[in-house]
């Protein structure tokens, strides 16, 4: 079993919780200000207007914004699923979940004999395929290109590792927790794209590039990084 570091999906759940609660917090603040204005008899009309406006904003948010909140929680569940799959890698592997690098939280960083991999997890619904170098969901381009995202995150992970005194190439991976990728596995440039059901077999099929002593040193550096 691979050793797990950190909790999968934690950052996604935090973001989803904040997004779901901040409109309610704003409304309570406006309600408090309105009640205070009634007590002191000052600018009651202004605070009343602000409270009504904030209440309308909350109602609008709950109609349109809850889908975005749900996407964060669905993403967290996807990260937990992939972390569970990665846990069954051989014990020579280490999985760093919710890895902070350059201000971003990377879903998973896998470190093992085959090298270092930055894994961006997606929990998309619908059929995912690669057409002419572009990732499509039900035949449509997604709002955010996962290939570019994975490459950018891999670069940030490599920079973070350099800061602790180790230089190694970081391979970008896009993993679909929902197993909705239509192919077994494909590459878009340096980015590998596959389903969670195939990710462990792919990892273990890669050639070893990190000697045991270097792998142990890298893991120790990552475990003690601040």
pLDDT tens, residue by residue, 159-207:
999 999 999 999 999 999 999 999 888 999 899 999 999 999 999 999 9
- pLDDT tens digits along 30-62: 555 555 555 555 555 555 565 566 666 666 655
Distance CA 39, CA 88 (A): 62
What range defines the domain where residue 152 resides?
88-224
Would the pLDDT of 9 be above 90? no
Q: Is residue 124 part of a domain?
A: yes
The pLDDT score that the predictor gives to residue 59 is 62
Kindly report, residue by residue over 114-163, the tens digit of the pLDDT.
999 999 999 888 899 999 888 999 999 998 899 999 999 999 999 999 99
Residue 119 lies in a domain: yes
Q: For 9, left (φ over 0), alpha (ψ -120 to 50), or beta?
A: left
**6 confidence band (pLDDT: 50, 70, 90):** confident
Question: Is 180 domain-assigned?
Answer: yes
Number of domains in the chain: 1
Helices (H) and strands (E) in the chain, counts: 6, 9
Residue 69 pLDDT class (50, 70, 90 cuts): low
Residue at 7 is within a domain:
no
Q: What's the pTM value of the predicted model, to 2 decimals?
A: 0.78
In a domain, 101, yes or no: yes
Instruction: Report if residue 152 sits inside a domain.
Output: yes
């Amino acid at each position: 079993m691979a050793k797990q570091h950190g909790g999968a999906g934690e950052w996604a759940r935090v973001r989803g919780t904040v997004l779901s609660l901040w409109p309610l917090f704003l409304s309570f603040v406006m309600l408090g200000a309105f009640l205070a204005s009634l007590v002191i008899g000052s600018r009651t009309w202004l605070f009343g207007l602000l409270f009504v406006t904030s209440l309308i904003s909350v109602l609008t948010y709950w109609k349109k914004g809850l889908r975005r909140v749900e996407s964060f929680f669905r993403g967290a569940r996807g990260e937990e699923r992939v972390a569970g799959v990665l846990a069954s890698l051989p014990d020579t592997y280490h999985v760093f979940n919710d890895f902070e690098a350059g201000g971003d939280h990377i879903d998973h960083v896998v470190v093992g004999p085959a090298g270092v991999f930055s894994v961006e997890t997606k929990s998309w619904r619908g059929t995912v395929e690669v057409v002419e170098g572009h990732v499509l969901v039900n035949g449509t381009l997604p709002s955010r290109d996962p290939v570019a995202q994975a490459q950018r995150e891999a670069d940030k992970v490599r920079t973070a590792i350099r800061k602790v005194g180790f230089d190694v190439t970081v391979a970008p991976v896009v993993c679909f927790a929902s197993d909705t990728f239509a192919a077994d596995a494909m590459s878009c440039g340096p980015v590998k794209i596959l389903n969670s059901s195939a990710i462990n077999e792919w990892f273990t099929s890669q050639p070893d590039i990190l000697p045991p002593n270097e792998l142990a040193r890298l893991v120790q550096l990552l475990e003690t990084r601040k």
